[in-house]
Each structure stands twice: as structure tokens, then as C-alpha cells.
Amino acid sequence: MEPIDDFNSANSLIDYFTFLRTPRKSGRRPSYDTWVLSLFNRGKKSLHPKKEYLRCQLIRGHKRINRNIMKLKFPKKTLNKLNELNDASVAAFDLLKKCFEKHREELSKISRTEEGPETDGKAKRYEIKQKSNRSFNHLFCKTYFEKFSVRESYHYYVSYLFSDFNLDSLCKKFGFRCCLMESEHTPYCYQKWGILHNYAAYEMLKEIEIQPFVDPQSIIMTRAGNCTEELAQIMGFMNFFKNDFPQEIKNQIDEFVNSNERNSSPEFASFANK
């Protein structure tokens, strides 16, 4: 994947979505997942994380946290580490546990290591791990998410991962970065992680032709008046969590929401102010 630097020179989230829909020289509009992952980099060579790498992280992490719940253990390391001092994380973990109890039989079966690709649970060396990543293909992921119980549990799992919205912690957990980390994170860093949250929860499933679970109580909606689907979801996420952001970020979110409210339908105005 070619490095994409244009987002870093954008002045707002609106500019990002304009850029997202701009065809490249080939005349084709880039796929949504390509652009999302191009916002992050792994290591000094600025390599972007691959789609299979993210799928592998999320599915393995989802299975692992269900095994922790089954054994009555708190997740204490890797992607799933629980911050017991963060009330939002504790509440999100409680929702995940309740979902597991509701679907215990199905989730216990799907969470076994032998239910994964050939190398799942056995990848100890980097070369083997890379091979395992590639095995999380379209067919395997579609099979994994075909049951409603798995989709519901996964929804709460993604909410749990992003419940502690500390960017340094997110970079460490996911194994890739939103910036060069030469100074403090910028407003764009918060936007990037909000976009990734939307992708992991919704778009990743849609691209494998699976309808994602949507919590009826969630303000993240699939449609809001004249607003595009992706924009509505990301705005919902950012508006909901804006109180956790620095004041500079709050001001930018408010300005963004208000500008779209003025140019959209009454339904969108109602959504944006929830």
C-alpha cells in the first residue's frame, strides 16, 4: 500500500471525507478499508497495517477475552488488558460478560483456539504469525461472524477496546501508531482512532457481507438524514465521547457538528444533538 500523507494536511474531518471520495490517478476511488488503515503506521518504515493483520488481532482478541470470561479471569495483557481504574472500561467489560452469559454455549464453542485457521493458537515465530494473519480471509471471517450471538458479543468487544480512549494506550494495544509521536497527539489523532473504531465495529463486517449488530441504545446510527453513512457513525462516536477529549478537540467537534446540522435534514439535527 502506498503511503498516504494528504490526510495530515487536512484542516478538518470534512476535508478527510472529501479526500476519501477523490479518485486516484487510476480513476478508481480507493476502498474504505485501504484509506482507514493508511492513517496508521507500523515501525520506522511507515508501513501501514494490513487488513488481515487487524482482522487477526480483533478475532483472536475476541476469542481470548471470551475464554477469560469463561474462566472468571480479568484480561491483564495484550490487546484486551483491562484498566480497572477506568469506569467506562469496567462498565464495557460488564456488558461483555452479560452477553457471554446470554450466549454461553455458542460463544464457548467459537472461542476455542482450534476453531480458528490452521495456525491459530500456534503462532510463536514472526514468519508463522504472518502466515496466520493471511489465513483470516474473507471466507473465514464471514463464517466466524455468521451467528447473531457472535456479532452481538463482538460489538460489545469493540466498544470495550475503545472505552479507555487514551491514545498512547491504543497505540500500544494495537501495535501501530497514529502519528510519529514526536510531540503530543494532535486533533487528527483523535479523529483517526474514531474512524478506526467505526471501521472495526461496522465497516469490517459489511465488507464481508455481514450485517453488524447495532445496540438499540447506541447513538451511533447507520443513517442520519442527508449525512453519509460513514460520517454519521463517526460523528455519533465523536459527539458521544467528546467530553473525554481536550478542549481544543471539543471545540472542533462542536463546530463540525453545527456546520453539518445547518446543511442537513431535521433528522440529522436531531441525531447530532443526542
Q: For the segment 87-127, what is each residue's pLDDT rounded down to a tens digit?
A: 999 999 999 999 999 999 999 999 987 655 654 555 443 44
Of the two residues 207 and 270, the one the predictor is more confident about is 207
Q: What does the pLDDT read at residue 214?
A: 84
What is the rounded distance in angstroms from the CA atom of residue 249 to the CA atom of residue 243?
9
Q: Where are the domains of the chain?
A: 50-214, 219-274
Q: What does the pLDDT read at residue 223?
A: 29
Q: What does the pLDDT read at residue 259?
A: 59
pLDDT of 195-204, one tens digit each?
899 899 998 9
Q: What does the pLDDT read at residue 36?
A: 87
pTM for the model stands at: 0.71
Assign 215 a pLDDT band (cuts: 50, 70, 90). confident
Helices (H) and strands (E) in the chain, counts: 14, 0
Q: What does the pLDDT read at residue 107?
A: 97
Q: For 47, phi and psi rounded to 5 degrees? A: -75, 135
Q: Over 90: is that where the pLDDT of 189 sits?
A: no
Residue 18 · residue 11 · CB < 8 Å: no
- DSSP state at residue 120: T
Assign 230 a pLDDT band (cuts: 50, 70, 90). very low
What is the rounded distance in angstroms from the CA atom of residue 226 to the CA atom of residue 132?
41
pLDDT of 28-79, one tens digit each?
656 778 888 988 998 766 688 999 999 999 999 999 999 999 999 999 888 9
Cα–Cα distance list, 120 to 71, 116, 127, 261 (Å): 20, 5, 13, 46
The per-residue pLDDT of the chain, averaged, comes to: 74
pLDDT of 145-176, one tens digit each?
999 999 999 999 999 999 988 999 999 999 99
